[in-house]
Chain A
Amino acid sequence: MTVFKTFLKILNKNKFIIILYTMFLIFFGGFNMQTSENNTNFVASKPDIMIVNYDEEKGITKDLIKYIEENSNVVDLKKNEDAINDALFYRDVNYVVYIPKNYNKDFMDGKNPEIEIKSTGDYQSSFAEMLLSRYIKVANIYQKSINSEEELISKINETLSKKSEVEITSKLDTNILSKATFYYNFANYSIMACLIYVICLILASFKDIKIQKRTIISSTNYKTLNRQLLLSNSLFSIILWMIYVTLSFILVGDIMFSIHGIFYLINSFVFTICATTIALFIGNIISNKNAISGIVNVIALGSSFLCGAFVPMEWLPEGVIKIAHILPSYYYISNNEILKTLEIINFNTIKPILLNIIIILSFSIIFIILTNIVSKRKQKIG
């Protein structure tokens, strides 16, 4: 109790930090939503897609192009990378599809050829992505059993046209889901910054060597006090998570009550656990209060940039994304991105999400172990 009370008092002294990062989340995580809200009539309109075809226009290639043409505004631009990048930047186009040479042939041979894409990363582009992935998914399913090109194409079209009934609601969801993803991606920054900042400040006070000495000579077991401190920190993390979740219900709306919403919650909760373990680890190696704000910037801001919390991952250079794989934020944000375009929820589609969650939890375990090693070593020196 003594520790908890003091924890709350110190927390109260640092409440401006919590308010600051929460404001960031509302303004920046919500600002983008404001702009997308203005475009709600876009839901009825179609995304702007550009097709760069290196294959001959026949068979599957032809049918895919036809499907995209039917469901979007196909934009024709100079097939020059600089021009394409500019067009993406100015949103003249949302999504660029590169169909490789021999796509039709490779596809029919079951080689599962890769289609490269470029995207603005906004919700319009995610709708485009949904179109593309839907076609390829359906085509892949039938390709395994049907050998005739003609039969395959007619089967694909049959299935896709059946699906178009749900198209409208699906479009709506995509719009709101991308809002949710945008919010939770930004929350990556707020959760990390807030937890690391506050927990480190509080630990720095409690673990100050002079105060520690006073605590050790007291009649209360030091381990008990440490446990109480850990509990207080965990409670703080959970409450912060609950605040951010509540905000998402207000800002994002109904979708949060769906299964998608539950996955956003689980994903962010697991990430909150991981961020807490990171904060505890840093709090145990850093005792200088002045250094904390710098560290928060490096870690929270750094991993938010590298992992695409502020800008879509598609915009990041490949090298950066490779590096991002060593950060837990990457898996958290990947999950949000998967959720954005996730249409059908079943074990197969959920599997990558669960895998990412397991990876985030593994990071947590690593940080807990590291913290234990560090604090043990510290005790020995003391």
Chain B
Amino acid sequence: MKNVIEVKNLIKEYKEIKAVDNLSFEVHEGEILGLLGPNGSGKTTTINCLLSLLNYSSGSIKIFGKEMKPDSYDIKSKIGVVFQDVAVFEELTVYDNIDYFCGLYIKDKKLRKQYIEDAIELVGLEEFKKFYPKQLSGGLLRRLNIACGIAHKPKLIFLDEPTVAVDPQSRNNILDGIKKLRDNGATIIYTTHYMEEVEIICDRIIILDKGKILATGTSDELKELAKIEEKITVEINELQENYIEDIKKSKNVDEVKYTNSLLLVTYTKGKNNLVELMEYLKENKIKYNKIYSERPTLNDVFLELTGKELRD
């Protein structure tokens, strides 16, 4: 597998804090790599360093096998970036905005026209070509922001939280578009603090916290890191203390909580946990409304690794 990006021992210090603390990682060709981390974990700073927008304190960055520098225009021509903040001209229409940013890369008029149409189609803004940014809803504006960043068909794409403050429908639309970009051969770095998104679209995930890498791997690999393997929730109106103690003692159980008529049991491993719990409830004639089982999420992994929730 070819590496599109190689980062070694990257450190970026601001006066008071290390925003990026000794990061080393690779990005493989054709994958969507997720950078997952809470607010302030250093995702944007990392991307800005990779793009030579920021001077970093130490470390090395190679993109397409070459060292990345502020004047590496040949590398830059193959990169597309969608920043966290929407960056478009208020005075230009949707079409003209894409035209301007695409024009920074593609000089040929005919080709550019084709590329702009492709980008508009990808993000689904066909009906809004003549609209001004002010006339677009938040979700549509995000889509325009994406189109401006990727219209020139870059081989490597950085997306910095492109779905912040977007309604679920627009979000799915955006995520589909990103998958399409990958399917067309692009390599993608995707930062977010939404773990659901990462699970849906990322081939590989890096979990960041306080500028450090906590873990790397596929979603399934990361979940192995979590101590628990299953979570079972039961709605019970009344439950006596002795039953709770009983359940705590049963096989594979990690923790038992009972609050607000909800019984939450976590298991470190094992099969048939659900069946065994249901049987126990039946034997003791405990009435319950609903019962369901869940696999752990990346949030549980994060909780396990840091002792805090991914989202505040």
Please list the residues of chain A having a beta carbon within 8 angstroms of any beta carbon in chain B.
1-2, 5-6, 9-10, 13-14, 205, 208, 210-211, 213-221, 225
Contacts and interface: CB of A to CB of B under 8 A. Distances in A.
A219 B104 contact: yes
Interface stretch (B78-86, B172-180, B239-247): B78-86
Interface string B55-73: 0000000000000000101
A335 to B, nearest CB: 37
Contacts of B90: 205
B100 A219 contact: no
5 contacts: A14-B91, A213-B83, A214-B83, A214-B101, A214-B149
Contacts of A225: 104
B96 interface: yes
B296 interface: no
Contacts of A220: 73, 104-105
Contacts of A14: 91
Contacts of B148: 214
A221 B70 CA distance: 10
A9 B90 CA distance: 11
A9 B148 CA distance: 17
Given A214-B148, A217-B53, 5 more contacts: A9-B92, A10-B89, A205-B91, A219-B76, A220-B104
B53 A211 contact: no
A219 B107 CA distance: 11
Interface string B236-257: 0000000000000000000000
B103 interface: yes
Interface string B115-151: 0000000000000000000000000000000001100
Contact of A216 (B53, B96, B101): B53
B87 interface: yes
A220 B152 CA distance: 13
Interface string B29-57: 00000000000000000000001110000
A2 B108 CA distance: 11
Contacts of B96: 6, 9
B77 interface: yes
B92 A10 contact: yes
Given A2-B100, A2-B104, A221-B73, A214 B79 contact: no
B105 A218 contact: yes
Contact of A217 (B76, B89, B91, B92): B76
Contacts of A218: 76, 101, 104-105
A294 to B, nearest CB: 19
A194 B81 CA distance: 36
A217 B79 contact: yes
Given A2-B100, A6-B96, A219-B77, A213 B89 contact: no
Given A217-B53, A218-B76, A218-B101, A6 B92 contact: yes
Given A213-B53, A219-B77, A208 B87 contact: yes
Nearest to B77: A219
Interface string B95-114: 01000110111000000000
B53 A215 contact: no
The 9 closest A-B pairs by CB, nearest first: A210-B87, A219-B77, A2-B103, A218-B104, A13-B91, A10-B91, A219-B76, A220-B104, A219-B73
Contacts of B91: 9-10, 13-14, 205
Contacts of B92: 6, 9-10
B172 to A, nearest CB: 26
Contacts of A13: 91
A220 B81 CA distance: 14
B73 to A, nearest CB: 5
Nearest to A222: B70
B105 A214 contact: no
A217 B71 CA distance: 9
Nearest to A210: B87
B87 A213 contact: yes
Nearest to B87: A210
Nearest to B96: A9
Contact of B100 (A6, A208, A210): A6
A211 B148 CA distance: 11
B81 A217 contact: yes
B113 to A, nearest CB: 13
B116 to A, nearest CB: 13
A211 B89 contact: yes
Contact of B89 (A1, A6, A219, A221): A6
Max count, chain B CB within 10 A of own CB: residue among A205, A214, A220: A214
Nearest to A218: B104
A225 B73 CA distance: 14
Contacts of A6: 89, 92, 96, 100
Contacts of B89: 6, 10, 205, 211
A225 B85 CA distance: 22
A9 B92 CA distance: 7
A1 B102 CA distance: 13
Nearest to A208: B87
Contacts of B105: 218-220
Contacts of A208: 87
Contacts of B101: 214, 218
A283 to B, nearest CB: 15
B100 A217 contact: no
Contacts of B104: 2, 215, 218-220, 225
Nearest to B132: A13
A13 B85 CA distance: 24
B191 to A, nearest CB: 15
A211 B103 contact: no
Nearest to B89: A205
Nearest to B104: A218
B109 to A, nearest CB: 9
